[in-house]
Structure 1
Amino acid sequence: MKSFIAFLKKEVFECIRSGELTFFCILFLIFGIMNPAIAKLTPWMLETLSDSLAEQGMMVTEVTVNALTSWTQFFKNIPIALIVFVFLYSGIFTKEYETNTLILILTKGLSRYKVVFAKFFVMFTMWTIGYLLCFAVTYGYNAFFWDNSIAVGLLPAMVYWWLFGVWIIGLIVLFSVLVKSYTGVLLGTGGSVLGVYLISFFPKAWKYTPTTLMESASLLIGTKSIEDYGIAVLITILLVVICLIVSITVMNRKQL
């Protein structure tokens, strides 16, 4: 346990020293501010463009913005933040392979499964901190300008999208163990998400896929019931566990 904590501290301090923690805090903070800002500016932007749109035969009617508008923007922007997260952390194992530091760590007695858990925990923590920061900033501005009670099902929607991000982290860990290249991790993670997304188009399959959780924003306008996503949540948690189990199994048998 001491070796795991020591390695975990090393990973955390590395995130702090490299500026990754600061970068993500700033990134998610910006997105948190952008959500209500875009909502507030929408009427002004449409009014500014009204003459140009009228010339093209499009009439601009009065637009009413509220907390729901801002939360809709939140679920449009958070995928961008997640993509940035994936691009940055897809090399969390590959840089260890390139510098041979992983071999050095393992020769000192650290078990391979502890390396997998530590890497997963660091990414899990970074994603959670950033996501909650973005959510808290958006929530605070919305409470100041409007009324958050209009956003029905906001808490489940927030948790579902966070869990989708955790599944992505599981995929990053899995493909980081399976392949040694940064590009391979990106392709494996992106390909898996795309494949699962395509599967969700099959009849009734949307209830059983992690990509269903991306649709959690629809809870805000009450188009889906909360129970509809229960099976997808359980399957997503199971897939995260499977990713970790497979990663540990492959890591234990892998020649470094």
Structure 2
Amino acid sequence: MKIFWVLLRKEMRELTRNYKMIWMPIVFILFGLTEPLTAFYLPDIINSVGDLPEGTVISIPTPSSGEVLLSTISKFSTFGVLIIVLGFMGMIAGERKSGNAIMVLVKPVSYTAYIYSKWLAAFVLVWVSYGLGMISSWYYIQVLFNGIGFTAFVHGFLVYGLWLTFILTLVVFFSSLVKTPGPAGFFTIGIAIFLTFVSGYMTRTLKWSPGQLPSYVNEIILHSTWPDHLTGTIILTTIFCLAILLISPPIYKKKDLI
């Protein structure tokens, strides 16, 4: 256990050294700020930059607070997921390729401690970045719009955070499975897209699929309700994450010995 905490501190220092601890929260905060500010000032922006005939009246319906927050989450679903994948796909594969992994693992360090310390460091950074982005969006929604219920916000925040955790766990798994970062990112994004598409198409058959989490967040935010199958989806997604983490060390060790 002592070795694990030593490795975790090393990983946190590494995230600071390569500036991920700085730029990743900043990017998520910018995503969180952009949507409510753009939605509120869009008519003024169009009037100021648009070359429109005199007397033209632009009428843009004001979106609801829930719609603005979901627009922010949509940004996280595209750019946020991409940032997580690109930021961590080389976490293990990159060190294996450069030879740094061998320098660590020849010491009395278990593969389990090695992988789990990396996952936990990335988990902390992702949740801090995502949390700051969501809080930024929620604050400006409260200021510029009618506001959104705190309970619905917290529920949506936690549920979507689980989806990002699932994506992160896939990144770590594939990074331990392959020897170069590129395939790890490709497989993770491919599975995320596949799960989202199939789950959206087969809503009844795959009602407990992790890919349903973003759609359940829509119901939580817009209707302030807890979807019927969300509890089962949370449990199943958590089990998937734990199972992936459980099999990652032995698979990495097997690959490392080949």
Contact 1:161 1:213 in 2 (8 A): yes
Deviates more, 1:125-134 or 1:79-88: 79-88
Contact 1:208 1:231 in 2 (8 A): yes
Q: 1:212: how far off?
A: 0.7
1:198/1:142 CA distance change after superposition, 3 Å? closer
Q: Secondary structure at the match of 2:148?
A: helix
Task: Please give the alpha-carbon distance, in whole angstroms, between the structure 2 residues aligned to 1:151 and 1:38.
Answer: 22
Task: Please give the alpha-carbon distance, in whole angstroms, between the structure 2 residues aligned to 1:148 and 1:135.
Answer: 14
The residue number in structure 1 matching 2:251 is: 250
Task: Please give the alpha-carbon distance, in whole angstroms, between the structure 1 residues aligned to 2:29 and 2:203.
Answer: 39
- How many percent identity over aligned positions? 19
Contact 1:152 1:221 in 2 (8 A): no
Contact 1:152 1:219 in 2 (8 A): no
1:213/1:103 CA distance change after superposition, 3 Å? same
Q: For this pair of structures, how many residues does the alignment match? A: 252
Task: Please give the alpha-carbon distance, in whole angstroms, between the structure 2 residues aligned to 1:62 and 1:102.
Answer: 55
Q: 1:12: how far off?
A: 0.5
Task: Please give the alpha-carbon distance, in whole angstroms, between the structure 2 residues aligned to 1:206 and 1:219.
Answer: 19
**What is the identity, as a one-letter code, of the residue corresponding to 1:234?**
I
Task: Please give the alpha-carbon distance, in whole angstroms, between the structure 2 residues aligned to 1:239 and 1:46.
Answer: 46
**What is the identity, as a one-letter code, of the residue corresponding to 1:37?**
L
Unaligned runs of at least 5 residues, structure 1: none
Task: Please give the alpha-carbon distance, in whole angstroms, between the structure 1 residues aligned to 2:102 and 2:145.
Answer: 54
Deviates more, 1:141-150 or 1:68-77: 141-150
The residue number in structure 1 matching 2:164 is: 165
Residues 138-168 of structure 1, C-alpha deviation per residue, up to 9 Å, x if partnerless?
Answer: 1222222233236883222211111000001
Deviates more, 1:219-228 or 1:29-38: 219-228
Q: 1:217: how far off?
A: 2.4
TM-score, normalisation: structure 1: 0.88
TM-score, normalisation: structure 2: 0.87
The residue number in structure 1 matching 2:214 is: 214
**What is the identity, as a one-letter code, of the residue corresponding to 1:238?**
I
Task: Please give the alpha-carbon distance, in whole angstroms, between the structure 2 residues aligned to 1:41 and 1:207.
Answer: 38
Q: 1:112: how far off?
A: 0.5
Alpha-carbon RMSD:
2.5
Q: 1:90: how far off?
A: 0.6
Task: Please give the alpha-carbon distance, in whole angstroms, between the structure 1 residues aligned to 2:68 and 2:38.
Answer: 7
The residue number in structure 2 matching 1:73 is: 71
Deviates more, 1:134-143 or 1:108-117: 134-143
Deviates more, 1:60-69 or 1:244-253: 60-69
Q: 1:77: how far off?
A: 1.4
Task: Please give the alpha-carbon distance, in whole angstroms, between the structure 2 residues aligned to 1:47 and 1:68.
Answer: 25
Contact 1:43 1:64 in 2 (8 A): no
Q: 1:128: how far off?
A: 0.3
**What is the identity, as a one-letter code, of the residue corresponding to 1:184?**
P
Deviates more, 1:86-95 or 1:36-45: 36-45
1:63/1:211 CA distance change after superposition, 3 Å? same
Residues 110-140 of structure 1, C-alpha deviation per residue, up to 9 Å, x if partnerless?
Answer: 1110011011101111110001101111122
Contact 1:209 1:236 in 2 (8 A): yes
Task: List aligned pairs for 1:26-41, cutoff 5 A.
Answer: 26-41=26-41
Deviates more, 1:67-76 or 1:107-116: 67-76
Unaligned runs of at least 5 residues, structure 2: none
The residue number in structure 2 matching 1:44 is: 44
